Structure 1
Amino acid sequence: MDSSTNNGLLLSGELDSFKNKLATLKDTGKNLNVEDLAKELFGLTLEDASNDLGIRDGPNGERPTKASQLLKVYLILSDEECKRVVELRSRGWHDNKEDGDAHFKQQRERADSTTPEGERGFYKMMQQIGEEMHNAHSIFSIPFVPDGQVNILDLCMAPGGYTAAALDYRNSFKAYAITLDPRCGGHNVIIDTNRLQGFRYHDITMFKEFCPNGKDIPEDFKSKFSDIKPFTFIKYHLVFADGKTLRTHDRIKDTYNANLSKETVRLQTSQLILAMNRMHNGGTLVMLLHKIDTWHSAFMLYTFSKFAKVEVFKPVKKHATRSSFYIIAKDIKVNHPETIKAIEEWKKDWFYATFGGPDNMGLAKEEPTNEIVQELLTEFGPTLIELGHKAWMIQANALSHTSYAGSTTDGKLEKISGEINEISEKLNLEVKVKEIAVGLESLMDRVKQGLRKRIWCGIKGVFRDHHEAFKMERGVGYAPIGGRGAGCWSVASDGQVIPGEKAKIDDEATAGCKPGTNGDNRAIFMMGA
């Protein structure tokens, strides 16, 4: 390999080389272990290839599994956007660790202690994601029942934004839902439950139906699990599986960090078993996953590709900086042998994560076999790259504008952008931040009339930090002048953006500075939803 390019590893042309090498291995019937497969594909040990590409531990020092490490090297060498997003994530986790830790700490605190306004914003955001997903992937269009009754099942529903988006699209849809009781640490339900045909509070991981064939729940634990099989009397055309392990969940909150890996497996497999045992033939599953470039997510996509049409969706407007994405599995063949096999494997994974080990307290999922790793790269590697490309690009673009992972050449604009993005998530606003190297008239063309008062109140902390000359008063409009702002526009007390000098400007702040003069060419503008 040409050591002068990309830290000793080539990007261009690598995918064709990988495909040829993997095809040769398949034709000759050779199955290599992960280490030998790395040498065969990359000409380096797995550790050396990872080091050359700057692949580092996770944010908390956790080491990736060998399967994830091999997969990540393969993807980075095959797709420029994957390479970029891995570099940006690593910058936030390691190079700018203090800023990154502060950002994620604030994010966790905000998620764990929501206010009624925050819950409403979360609900609205989920609605908007559902609408964006439909616009991109037509998830609410069920082609095989154009005039018939469409049934929807929403697993881990609260606050209910996805179901609300579906019912807003077509009120005749029949919706059913299961979600964790708020008294047990779940989110509050915001959607009007009168819009639902069926609704149940329950810990979705605690049903006995998840036991695999030939297994039974240990006697000491049987009383904790339910015999109920919810909503088995209907087949569903669309199922949402949006569950996330919650730090506030009373059953796991005291051991959240220690048990996160196995609880994640339990939650995902529970949703999958419930969904697939109730899915109408030809139906659609929408499921939340994280990091396409990890083994677990890649294998999930590969599994569904065997009996469904698989698509990937990542919102552009919401949670763009995060690694979350959605698998959309359409036209699911519920009686396909691979479907039946997958359900049984998920049951085994659930049982192992719940009762594995000598004390029956559950164990984290084991590493995949060498045969499965080689098979996935051979049969699904190029498709995985196609599915992941846009999601990596969306996250990379968003991360590049944050204070903790973005470019360090200037840093000031990225820091402001990151802070405004954080506020936009909190208030459920669409806030765009751009660097505009043009004059005032072009800027005014970009500014959307009617910037709401609540937006202005929400961003005033950022405004104060980056337009230090002003003293802000509630209910009074302001106009940025000179310095980092741009002249000749203002925000009135009702939140409306107006041209001219009509808003109040503090006398002390304007001493020696002529209102209406242009600032430098890095003007920040905000667009309200």
Structure 2
Amino acid sequence: MHKATGVFDILTTSTDNPKILDFCVAPGGYLETSMWHDPRAQATAFSLGTDQGGHEILMPPNPRIAVKFMDITMLAADMGVDTIPAGHPDFANFPPRELAPNRFFDLVICDGQVLRTNVHARAEYRESREATRLTLTQLALGLDHLTPGGTMVVLLHHMETWGTLCLMRKMHQFASVQLFKHPKCHAKRSAFYMIATKVNARCPQATDAIEEWKGIWKVATFGSEEAYRDVMHASDAEVHSLLKDFGPRLVENARPIWVIQAKALEKASFVKGASRGWGPS
């Protein structure tokens, strides 16, 4: 990834000891690589504990890395919620604020995914909303605590979905955006990385994005099914507006990602020999 995008340049060009925030560190490959690029770096990392179904951290201990084991989707205080509604299924599970308002980081890594291994640890209301809650937590807090001019690495899925399209259009408003997909690792899957550099994290567009993401997270965490459907729904007019304004740039940015996935799918065992028409092969 670094060879293709220069994602870790933000660390080596910093005059002070660069700071890294990794929201879902386990097993630790990206953070370990980041620290290798600049041994001066200091990192704050979060990970779901193995007792909650999280992955084991495989990188060796490092005194410059502070790891906190917790479910980041429950950081209500950090997301702007000070009072938890009585009777909420997770009433007792929201921790105090973790990241002080004046803590900022040069590199923020947002590559968490919902794990099937911790289904038993989640309240029922979260099942259909967990991916949204996890993504929004990382985006909102990551941008909120990013040093102006810093870099964000964000794992995304399904380029064509509404949420992904909206996110990429927003990021283009206040950052230089590159997309990356490894030609071999997980090439058949929809996953890819968005690398946002030179992020103007204090401009009005960034501030609006943070507030919007926090607002949707609040609905996904405390709202009714109807409220959640409404906040996630896009009107025809909104879709047409996005495609008109951002469609050409989307295709330009996305084409290399789609090409990698298409080539990998052509060679996939479950595709070889399959009919390419409507009738029998």
Same fold (TM over 0.5): yes
Specify the alignment match of 1:304 in structure 2: 171
Counterpart CA distance in 1 for 2:160 and 2:142 is 25
Specify the alignment match of 1:490 in structure 2: none
Deviations 1:240-261 (A, max 9, x none): 0111111111555685xx8544
Counterpart residue type for residue 46 of structure 2: I
Superposed counterparts of 1:303-382, under 5 Å: 303-357=170-224, 363-364=228-229, 365-382=231-248
- State the number of aligned residues: 272
> How far 1:351 moved relative to its partner?
0.9
Which SS does the other structure have where 2:242 is aligned? helix
> How far 1:317 moved relative to its partner?
2.2
Deviations 1:45-93 (A, max 9, x none): xxxxxxxxxxxxxxxxxxxxxxxxxxxxxxxxxxxxxxxxxxxxxxxxx
Specify the alignment match of 1:263 in structure 2: 130
Counterpart CA distance in 1 for 2:94 and 2:241 is 37
Counterparts in 2 of 1:147 and 1:259: CA distance versus 1, 3 Å: closer
Specify the alignment match of 1:293 in structure 2: 160
Aligned: 1:225 with 2:91: no
| Structure number with higher helix proportion | 1
Counterpart CA distance in 2 for 1:238 and 1:375 is 32
CA contact (8 A) 1:193 1:199 kept: no
Deviations 1:325-370 (A, max 9, x none): 01111111111111111111111111111111179xx845521233
Deviations 1:25-49 (A, max 9, x none): xxxxxxxxxxxxxxxxxxxxxxxxx
Identify the structure with bigger relative contact order (alpha carbons < 8 Å, sequence gap 6+): 2
Specify the alignment match of 2:279 in structure 1: none
Residue of structure 2 aligned with 1:162, choices 2, 10, 30: 30
CA contact (8 A) 1:247 1:253 kept: no
> How far 1:177 moved relative to its partner?
0.3
Which SS does the other structure have where 2:74 is aligned? coil
Superposed counterparts of 1:492-503, under 5 Å: none
Specify the alignment match of 2:266 in structure 1: 400
Counterpart CA distance in 1 for 2:99 and 2:11 is 26
Counterpart residue type for residue 204 of structure 1: I
Superposed counterparts of 1:119-518, under 5 Å: 133-142=1-10, 145-212=13-80, 216-221=83-88, 222-230=91-99, 232-250=101-119, 252=121, 255=124, 259-357=126-224, 363-364=228-229, 365-408=231-274
> How far 1:192 moved relative to its partner?
2.0
Which SS does the other structure have where 1:378 is aligned? helix
> How far 1:220 moved relative to its partner?
2.6
Specify the alignment match of 1:489 in structure 2: none
Higher radius of gyration, 1 or 2: 1
CA contact (8 A) 1:245 1:260 kept: no
| Structure number with higher strand proportion | 2
Unaligned runs of 5+ in 2: 276-281
Unaligned runs of 5+ in 1: 1-132, 410-529
Deviations 1:370-402 (A, max 9, x none): 343222112111110011101101111111111
> How far 1:196 moved relative to its partner?
3.5
Counterpart residue type for residue 166 of structure 1: S
Greater shift in the superposed pair: 137-146 or 335-344: 137-146
Counterparts in 2 of 1:205 and 1:188: CA distance versus 1, 3 Å: same
Calculate the aligned-residue CA RMSD, in Å. Answer: 2.4
Which SS does the other structure have where 1:268 is aligned? helix
Counterpart CA distance in 2 for 1:223 and 1:317 is 43
Structure 1 vs Structure 2: percent identity of aligned residues?
A: 34
